[in-house]
Chains A and B, each alone.
Chain A
């Protein structure tokens, strides 16, 4: 079964440092997403990406966040200056079509980011 892969599985960083979380979506998918889940809380939408641009973002996705598809396979989330409250599990997802349009979104296993 095709899968979304994320690296690293766990990253520890110091407050104020930049981090880049990496994802390889499923190869024929066109829509890409980042979500985060703070420990014990619900899965929160951050951003969706299609055709090399952001198609929608939540209010969480402020200026310290950015996304990029640097080549044909990777999809990255950059956090410029991490804060303690950025500690969470970050999930990448991809789908053939947008949102509810008939196909499921596939989620990766997540990157646990710990900011100290």
Chain B
């Protein structure tokens, strides 16, 4: 699995857009990028997955540049309830046994 690097923590005020960047220099051709969110004392929750360019859903957008060596999770207009740990994971959709492997993630604190 490609190694990922994310900031350990970020702070943001309510209503701001938050961008969390993940580096994955060794990403392979078949690898996808997936982001999970974990609230305190809860299990991780899938947010978004992408391969290249831009993916958007009702929760977030994921921007992936052409070289795919990094990706940016964008949370529009965050609220206090977006305070959580955000994990970037990279892995292949074509390999057999590929359990999700979590890193330390980015702890986002949203301030009123």
Of residues 62 to 112 in B, which have CB atoms within 8 Å of A's CB atoms?
87, 89, 91-105
* Docked-complex contact A99 and B98, CB < 8 angstroms: yes
Of the candidates B95, B98, B104, the one whose C-beta lies within 8 Å of that of A42 is B104
Number of A-B contacts (CB under 8 A): 71
Bound-complex Cα distance A62 to B44 (A): 24
Q: In the complex, which residues of chain B have a beta carbon less than 8 angstroms from the beta carbon of A99? A: 91, 95, 97-100
With an 8 Å Cβ cutoff, the count of chain B residues facing the other chain is: 28
9 A-B pairs with the lowest CB-CB distances in the bound complex, closest first: A107-B43, A99-B98, A104-B46, A100-B91, A43-B102, A56-B97, A91-B43, A48-B99, A100-B93
29 contacts between A and B (CB under 8 A): A4-B43, A33-B100, A42-B104, A42-B105, A43-B38, A43-B44, A43-B102, A45-B100, A55-B97, A56-B97, A98-B98, A98-B99, A99-B91, A99-B97, A99-B100, A100-B34, A100-B92, A100-B93, A100-B100, A102-B32, A102-B93, A104-B46, A104-B49, A105-B46, A107-B43, A108-B43, A110-B41, A110-B43, A112-B41
Knowing that A43-B102, A102-B93, A105-B100 touch, tell me 5 more A-B residue pairs with CB under 8 angstroms. Answer: A45-B100, A98-B97, A100-B31, A100-B91, A107-B44
